[in-house]
Structure 1
């Protein structure tokens, strides 16, 4: 860190510490997330109107307004540069009954404060709803999805601090499976399957097993009703603790609980059979979930067969490096071959590697567009060397009004790493920068 930058860093940290002291009484009776508290300190210190502070707030808004799309489970390793305020937004879908599990790690540990907060996008033009934030000591966050939808995880470091991070986003069921794991069972019929020659749709899942296999409580709660009906035969209704839905167990051979009985997760409620309209089918449990609005698909609530995120095979040594594409490539909004196309890039376009996931890189173009490209298509090596005929200004960015880093004299040898519009990104002695063609 240069003396000038160290001085600026020291001044900002001092101002933020002073702001934290004066703002502590104002926040005495309000609970803020770590990101909100830090943003308030920046504002109270008068730094929001500075170029650095404004860039931090702009990055935070961009991560929510223009997140990139990922599919769960997802794992990414990336890099935040200390000298440039930045943030990352990850948009994904999740269903009611699932639990979103988020784990973040950062290096160097203890010297790199990273904020992680989870939002749900609202339909229409409404602002996103803040659902929670990761604890800044454990960097973990869990959220039980109460409504199908799209969610955004925002990651953002504090000012003038940077480093590597790894984020993992997975899902898990919020209920236990209603048949003990040690017994042999399988799901043979799913939500929405046709019934009665298409006259109705299946409102649950069917779990097949041997006759009189135990069926168990999928949560703590109480038995709201034990009964008999034409469709379900011997049935049990269970009310999970603190939930607004009811669990329905049908086609039982035996009911081993009574109405009003308190039960714990894993307690045996009855034995699997084929009563009701299942008398001519193999033994199975019909498991359903009902709310006042009707039936819900139980699968997200109980599905334990969830895959792990793909191993990151893209070379993380290229993080924060400027690279070029060795061939024409597609920049996509998600790390998948069928991801939405952002643009097609001709060969040898310059981009910066922000993060790696699976076999993909998340990259930043010189025009600030972000997206994903396949890692095998990129290289950090120059693709040709030339001798320039006339002295040329080496620019910090591909823009004629930007700062000049140095002047390359006529006859100098340079190596070209890539291009963007009418500019080449070159290496000259110890400098990397842009020259006008």
Structure 2
């Protein structure tokens, strides 16, 4: 494709106006949607780059890569590409997701960040959003299931970014001293010869250890029953569930009392059906549909995202695989569902732990070990036997950059499917069919 300076000057001018000028349509739901509407309003959805940006936005969610949390990547969005990133991951009800996005660029460009869920009918619903100006997003999962995150930069902006996703509890811990090893019996375990299921978790500590309110709210009931002994029921403010504290030796809170995080509700014991067990708190959460697993709401084990151990200087670089077949993963802890052939050419999108997130020439995205890639230097010389077209993409329908004549020698840099990436003596780089 020929470079047209006047076209880019016009495009940059219009986009700059989009960023700062007034917008007279209905207020959109997110900065991403506002930017898209400004592109449409300016007529940029009719040119190749604007249309590609909108198509990219629509494809990022259904084609999102699966990741496991916590997750961290350092990536690069290039001005000459229509880039973006989509992620899908699982959350359990009660977990708090925190997403942190930072960027570095002389262009001061925006990266739009949207958080989504997919409904039972397959449609996506946006839950929260931000742009990269001080972007931190937090979300408490209201249901267990699959969620999605989309990152997309504005057109013609370039720069690096750091993305981190971590999960933790949405409520505080019910004891002052926090120790994950105190939790020794979990939701769903068999009880009474498997005639019923455990509807909570058991947190063990010393006799008469204070048990605490883990959110602001209201004590709804203080009573005794055969299973729980002395119990306290507590409704967190603004929530649609009730917390249940059982086997207390003493109840301190009273019905109707307004409490804050850290207020003492009672003292740990072994009343009710726990008379033969060491002192512990049975902690449960009840909704209108019944008991739910309380562990994700209070689990103090918060794992850090893995550090980046790959060379950030290779971001946005065109590399190739080593002289052997290597594995390509769709992530999910870097499983290896398929492999790449020798010397496959690819582009590095981001660094993740000791892997790179890469894009193949056909648009497929995956993860490969950082030690599996090398620079696209000369592999060998090839003498052209007959006239060939030097293509700008590994496809016979791609644009022709120049024509190679019989007897001309080129340097082979790598392969993809039935094509070779080559360079000519005058600096042209492109693809020829095998």
Q: TM-score, normalised by structure 2?
A: 0.93
Judged with a 3 Å threshold, the aligned counterparts in structure 2 of structure 1 residues 383 and 18 are, in CA distance, closer, same or farther, namely closer
Aligned length: 430
Distance in 2, matches of 1:398 and 1:270, equals 70
| Structure 2 contact 103–132 (Cα < 8 Å) conserved | no
1:295 aligns with 2:291: yes
Judged with a 3 Å threshold, the aligned counterparts in structure 2 of structure 1 residues 88 and 247 are, in CA distance, closer, same or farther, namely same
Q: Quote how far apart the aligned CAs of 1:325 are.
A: 1.6
| Structure 1 contact 244–291 (Cα < 8 Å) conserved | yes
| Structure 2 contact 212–262 (Cα < 8 Å) conserved | yes
Aligned counterpart, 1:78: 75
| Structure 2 contact 202–280 (Cα < 8 Å) conserved | yes
| Structure 1 contact 183–213 (Cα < 8 Å) conserved | no
Aligned counterpart, 1:354: 349
Aligned counterpart, 2:7: 8
Judged with a 3 Å threshold, the aligned counterparts in structure 2 of structure 1 residues 109 and 267 are, in CA distance, closer, same or farther, namely farther
Aligned counterpart, 1:151: 147
Judged with a 3 Å threshold, the aligned counterparts in structure 2 of structure 1 residues 335 and 278 are, in CA distance, closer, same or farther, namely closer
Aligned counterpart, 1:314: 310
Q: Quote how far apart the aligned CAs of 1:406 are.
A: 3.6
Aligned counterpart, 1:99: 96
| Structure 1 contact 23–44 (Cα < 8 Å) conserved | no
Q: Secondary structure at the match of 1:37?
A: helix
Judged with a 3 Å threshold, the aligned counterparts in structure 2 of structure 1 residues 254 and 132 are, in CA distance, closer, same or farther, namely same
Q: Quote how far apart the aligned CAs of 1:422 are.
A: 2.3
**1:54-93 pair list within 5 angstroms:** 54-93=51-90
Q: Quote how far apart the aligned CAs of 1:401 are.
A: 3.3
Q: Secondary structure at the match of 1:48?
A: helix
Q: Quote how far apart the aligned CAs of 1:381 are.
A: 4.0
Judged with a 3 Å threshold, the aligned counterparts in structure 2 of structure 1 residues 309 and 400 are, in CA distance, closer, same or farther, namely same
Aligned counterpart, 2:371: 376
Distance in 2, matches of 1:82 and 1:325, equals 25
Counterpart of 2:390 (choices 389, 394, 417) is 394
Q: Secondary structure at the match of 1:41?
A: helix
Unaligned runs of 5+ in 1: none
Query: How big is each residue's C-alpha offset from its partner over 1:92-127, in whole Å with a ceiling of 9 and x where there is no partner?
Result: 01111111111111121661211001001122x431
Query: How big is each residue's C-alpha offset from its partner over 1:62-120, in whole Å with a ceiling of 9 and x where there is no partner?
Result: 11111000000000111111112121101001111111111111121661211001001
Q: Secondary structure at the match of 1:105?
A: strand
**What value does the CA root-mean-square deviation take over the aligned residues?**
2.2
Counterpart of 1:419 (choices 385, 408, 415) is 415
Q: Secondary structure at the match of 2:44?
A: coil
| Structure 2 contact 60–84 (Cα < 8 Å) conserved | yes
Query: How big is each residue's C-alpha offset from its partner over 1:302-341, in whole Å with a ceiling of 9 and x where there is no partner?
Result: 01211111111122222112222212123222153435x2
Q: Quote how far apart the aligned CAs of 1:413 are.
A: 4.6
Q: Quote how far apart the aligned CAs of 1:404 are.
A: 2.9
Aligned counterpart, 1:344: 339
Distance in 2, matches of 1:420 and 1:78, equals 23
| Structure 1 contact 119–132 (Cα < 8 Å) conserved | yes
Aligned counterpart, 2:432: 435
| Structure 1 contact 324–350 (Cα < 8 Å) conserved | yes
Query: How big is each residue's C-alpha offset from its partner over 1:155-188, in whole Å with a ceiling of 9 and x where there is no partner?
Result: 0000111221111111121100011126897111
Q: Secondary structure at the match of 2:75?
A: strand
Q: TM-score, normalised by structure 1?
A: 0.93
Counterpart of 2:361 (choices 359, 362, 366) is 366
Unaligned runs of 5+ in 2: none
Distance in 2, matches of 1:62 and 1:126, equals 14
Distance in 2, matches of 1:92 and 1:363, equals 19
Distance in 2, matches of 1:23 and 1:376, equals 49
1:227 aligns with 2:226: no
